[in-house]
Amino acid sequence: MDEMISFIFLFNIESFLFLLEKLLHMIQKIFITRELMPESIKLIREAFPSAQIKIQPESEILTPDKLREEIKDTDGLLCTLREKISADLLENAPRLKVISNYAVGFDNIDIKAATTRGIMVTNTPDVLTDATADLTMALLLVTARRIIEAEDYLRSSQWKRWSPLLLCGTELAGKTLGIIGLGRIGSAVARRARGFKFDLVYHSRTRKPHLETELKMKYLSLTELLKQSDFISLHVPLTPETKHLIDEDEFNLMKPTCILINTARGAVINEAALVDALKKGKIHAAGLDVYEKEPISTDNPILSLSNVIALPHIGSATIETRTMMAIIAAKNLILALKGEKPISLINAELLT
Ligand code: DGY
């Protein structure tokens, strides 16, 4: 009789543990790699009231090992461009259904590996177009008109008198701006640049005849664009084809007066070649928001050059844009976890 009771007891404990494990497995797990705007977190909580939602605190660095640990039993990941989502990492994430990237660029994610595993990958296009185009114009103006240098000059009490040659920069009107990549952001820059009376030329994978007419832009081969432009602004995504698109040979083609602006991705330029070009006067100056390795280290030679304006990847950094990005990233995550079509799905072939 005693044996019978302990058998039933043990059997029940085991079934209970088994059921508990199954139940825990059914609870959806979501990992968010940064503290985001509260409205986006609220959307996720409302959509999945019983989900376990973990948010990486801003005060703690998310190491690759910690990320690996976190996503191994996660259903939904909301990450930023700083997290590298490799094939190897995905192999250890058997439950993962969606990677919602808080960025328009997605060069941080192995899309092929995600697609093979049936994991949806989403991004946040459109909402950051204006903010990024604005920052591009800001960099153009700041480098051309020596704004930072002028402000330092004033603050360090060097301003003694007005003088005709004091801190003279370069005029924008009538100069040629070469835009490389005429997608959403590239064309938003072109629209703004028209107002500054630039002559516009562009190079892009595909020609955009309607923009050529509307914005009076001329299509050029990359070589011709590099040779003819007074200012060059980069707006291509980072892909194996665009990595180091601007390298030593390209700098050799540019005018020594050329100002190069990069608000796209750092690795579109070979940074060593850029430093060399700036040091040797192959180009006049550069305005940068992105770098090959971010955050840029303080001993990076780029920061020792006085003809560089360097910003910490703030192209989309306005409250309005970053909030919209967070909301879209949250909605993408929610829709994908519900098995519906996200707003901006990169690997759309998963749904065909
Ligand atoms: C992006 O979205 O790709 C930007 O670089 C960051 O907003």
Residue 267 has which token pair?
Answer: 């690795």
Q: Distance between CA 140 and CA 198 in Å, rounded?
A: 12
In the residue annotation, 203 being an active-site residue is answered as no
**Interval between CA 315 and ligand 1 midpoint (Å):** 7
Structural domain contains residue 315: no
Mutate to test the pocket of ligand 1, among 36, 80, 81 (most ligand atoms within 8 A of CB): 81
Task: Of 198, 206, 188, give the one whose Cα is nearest residue 134.
Answer: 188
Structural domain contains residue 57: yes
Look at ligand 1, atom 2, and give the residue with the nearest C-alpha. Answer: 103
Residue 316 Cβ inside 6 Å of ligand 1? The answer reads yes
Show the CA angle centred on residue 332, arms to residues 326 and 338, nearest 5°. Answer: 135
Say whether both 163 and 263 belong to one domain.
yes
Residue 125 Cβ inside 6 Å of ligand 1? The answer reads no
Strand-pair category, 98-101 with 120-122: parallel
**Interval between CA 233 and ligand 1 midpoint (Å):** 16
Write the DSSP symbol of residue 341: -
pLDDT in tens for each of the 352 residues of the chain? Answer: 566 666 566 667 777 766 665 655 679 999 999 999 999 999 999 999 999 999 999 999 999 999 999 999 999 999 999 999 999 999 999 999 999 999 999 999 999 999 999 999 999 999 999 999 999 999 999 999 999 999 999 999 999 999 999 999 999 999 999 999 999 999 999 999 999 999 999 999 999 999 999 999 999 999 999 999 999 999 999 999 999 999 999 999 999 999 999 999 999 999 999 999 999 999 999 999 999 999 999 999 999 999 999 999 999 999 999 999 999 999 999 999 999 999 999 999 999 8
Q: Which residues contact 108 (CB under 8 A, 6 or more apart)?
A: 79, 81, 82, 83, 84, 85, 101
Look at ligand 1, atom 6, and give the residue with the nearest C-alpha. Answer: 103
Residue 315 Cβ inside 6 Å of ligand 1? The answer reads yes
User: CA 119 → CA 2, 81, 190, distances in Å?
Assistant: 52, 17, 36
Which is catalytic among the residues 203, 265, 284, 322?
Answer: 265
DSSP 208-268: -HHHHHHTTEEE--HHHHHHH-SEEEE-PPP-TTTTTSB-HHHHHHS-TT-EEEE-S-GGG
Say whether both 175 and 109 belong to one domain.
no
In the residue annotation, 250 being an active-site residue is answered as no
In the residue annotation, 205 being an active-site residue is answered as no
Residue 41 Cβ inside 6 Å of ligand 1? The answer reads no
Task: Tell which atom from ligand 1 comes closest to the C-alpha of 106.
Answer: 3
- What is the domain count for the chain? 2
Say whether both 81 and 36 belong to one domain.
yes
Strand-pair category, 259-262 with 231-234: parallel
Say whether both 155 and 288 belong to one domain.
yes
Residue 104 Cβ inside 6 Å of ligand 1? The answer reads yes
> From the centroid of its chain, how far is CA 256?
29
Residue 103 Cβ inside 6 Å of ligand 1? The answer reads yes
Q: Distance between CA 154 and CA 273 in Å, rounded?
A: 33
Q: Distance between CA 237 and CA 264 in Å, rounded?
A: 7
Say whether both 258 and 155 belong to one domain.
yes
Say whether both 138 and 234 belong to one domain.
yes
| Domain range for 118 | 2-126+320-351
Say whether both 136 and 57 belong to one domain.
no
Which is catalytic among the residues 146, 284, 313, 322?
Answer: 313
Say whether both 137 and 122 belong to one domain.
no
Are 216 and 232 in contact, with CB atoms under 8 Å apart? no
- Specify the pTM: 0.92
**Interval between CA 174 and ligand 1 midpoint (Å):** 31
Residue 37 has which token pair?
Answer: 């705007």
Say whether both 177 and 295 belong to one domain.
yes
Are 217 and 186 in contact, with CB atoms under 8 Å apart? no
Structural domain contains residue 41: yes
